[in-house]
Homo-oligomer: A and B are copies of this chain.
């Protein structure tokens, strides 16, 4: 990657792709109909529902930021040219008005016959309780991505009955995988499967049920009889489930004796253990659960000569899966919310595990909401900024431009909000209502001008410049690029300490504070904002310096370890991973935690926010080894959008061997690497394999080029297996 975020492909398609052709093509005839809605509105609705499912001892605990709403009234439209009459079935969530070629069709028909030839078909749908959506299914005419939608059709009828329309803001519709008429967006549910308990043990008159590992779902009671109360105390830990007075989640159930023998709770929870205490008048045979999950394929893989690392990868993948739900959430017990900083890491991990674009898009849309922008995303300054960078990464990893083309106006209005909150020096400094998060770390200064926030803003401006180009907004592109360049220059002018060769942390009222922290220094490395000399200085004086404020959250460990990997410290990082993630496993973790401080002991590991079980024991940001192993050990990363070109730099980090897969848009890169053999095969794109070898490597396929100083290169063509002999350094 160059010093600047760059856009190398697709840019010339931008204008073509934008609202190009809405007419039926031969291809679309074969495609399935799908439910469609106003883009982003399903995500807004679902995230509103989902984020109030957090409970604390039966009290709902909704988010602290603003909710947006779907548009209650929208008009869907398509233009068709069909070879024969088409009998079209109509399914709608909400009452509708149907216009064919501008003429209103009376009633609420369940189907309509459209004659052959060219037609314009419009459905205006109202649904204030959920969101307006339609599923239209004929032989030729099917609702799908080629339809357009507006929330302001501005179609008015003049005195003579003539229709007038102008200034209508049409958008491409939103859709997901609701591919049958019965599968309505308003009835969306994640998948479930039955799980049995692994162990039960008697606790007083009740019992403690252990499902063997952290899980998520709906408790089921079998053979239920009688009348009275039954209490469920949930625990991510045994301690929590046993502490009925202090556990974070519980359910008090009341049975009137008329219930059926199998009872399934209607609210899902995160737990490994459930303590069940029932009145003597209530009996049951056993407790099981319905495990609830988003069906996703594990497209990435990692295995190595070190079993501990393999276990860490497996538990990371499980942690990642548990937190990849309706959206990428932070933790499954707490907060069950969509936080932009947390989600940003999930996006990155996702590219090395599920490669599920739709989960990234859903999460980006849930976070951003709609207009107007009145606060930072999650009210956190850094979290607005991660959102922009997340979109750039999404483009880089997937090559998708439609998301940016569709939602560029929402990117721009959020950026205008951010730019409007700069101080007179052009730096972001918190105003009323702005929360500067950075990290959970005791004594971390967050007021005034913080270098870390300016660096994220610079990166966000670069992402905006790329996005503006994709959206065909050339003026904006120039403007954002200049803002990015200027801010970057100023960042170094003000915060880079030329004497110490490190980046300072904070300036207050024009006075530089004598504080160095890891944050801007580690981001500067993998953002490639530092030159080689700066990187080495930062590595020694900051990253490997124990006197600098330590990082105790897996959240910032993610970036700290990424920075170390980016400067070739893979072996050191593997040791850190073994210690840190291995440490959690030693404490019995079956998913990775919100925070881990090796210096703590016993129940201290369960505490947070001043509450004995306040800590989340399944937190997405704990799963970062997935990303590190894929990007910095298997060593695969795109160098242009959608893996059109990519780089593979395997790094054993001291391992005897490793093997794995990294997903790409239409396939994967498979790698095996030992100290003397590298095997690689890719499904698409042009890869550059970088081999660090004591002697010149050899291969029967392709040509190895020397890059100088034990460094060699081999171009990887798609669908061609390569086997290279080499000698690891």
What is the bound-complex CA distance between A608 and B159, given in angstroms? Answer: 7
Q: Is the pair A52, B375 in contact by a Cβ cutoff of 8 Å?
A: no
What is the bound-complex CA distance between A130 and B128, given in angstroms? Answer: 8
Beta-carbon nearest neighbor of A163 in chain B: B64
Q: A58-B107, A128-B45, A151-B67 are in contact. Are A609 and B72 (CB under 8 A)?
A: no
CB distance from A420 to the nearest CB of B (A): 14
Q: Is the pair B371, A48 in contact by a Cβ cutoff of 8 Å?
A: no
B residues less than 8 Å from A290 (CB atoms): none
Beta-carbon nearest neighbor of A125 in chain B: B62
Q: Is A507 in the interface zone, CB < 8 Å from B? A: no
Q: Is the pair B126, A611 in contact by a Cβ cutoff of 8 Å?
A: no
Beta-carbon nearest neighbor of A614 in chain B: B161
B residues less than 8 Å from A374 (CB atoms): 152, 169
CB neighbors of B among A50-89 (8 A): 52, 56-67, 69-73
Q: Is the pair B372, A154 in contact by a Cβ cutoff of 8 Å?
A: no
What is the bound-complex CA distance between A568 and B332, given in angstroms? Answer: 75
Q: Is the pair A57, B107 in contact by a Cβ cutoff of 8 Å?
A: yes
Q: Is A195 in the interface zone, CB < 8 Å from B? A: no
What is the bound-complex CA distance between A63 and B153, given in angstroms? Answer: 9
Quickly give the copy total for this chain.
2
What is the bound-complex CA distance between A71 and B62, given in angstroms? Answer: 13
Q: Is the pair A106, B73 in contact by a Cβ cutoff of 8 Å?
A: no
Q: Is the pair B371, A372 in contact by a Cβ cutoff of 8 Å?
A: yes
Number of interface residues of A (CB under 8 A): 69
B residues less than 8 Å from A57 (CB atoms): 106-107
CB distance from A358 to the nearest CB of B (A): 22
Q: Is A8 in the interface zone, CB < 8 Å from B? A: no
Q: Is A435 in the interface zone, CB < 8 Å from B? A: yes
Question: Which 8 A-B residue pairs are closest in the complex by CB-CB distance?
Answer: A167-B433, A161-B610, A69-B69, A167-B432, A57-B106, A161-B609, A67-B73, A58-B107
A154-B375, A161-B610 known; 15 new pairs, CB 8 Å cut-off, are: A48-B72, A59-B106, A59-B107, A61-B97, A61-B104, A66-B152, A69-B69, A69-B72, A154-B379, A158-B609, A166-B432, A167-B375, A167-B431, A168-B433, A371-B372
A interface residues (Cβ-Cβ under 8 A, vs B): 45, 48-49, 52, 56-67, 69-73, 95-98, 104-108, 124, 126, 128-130, 151-162, 164, 166-169, 371-372, 374-375, 379, 431-435, 440, 442, 608-611, 614
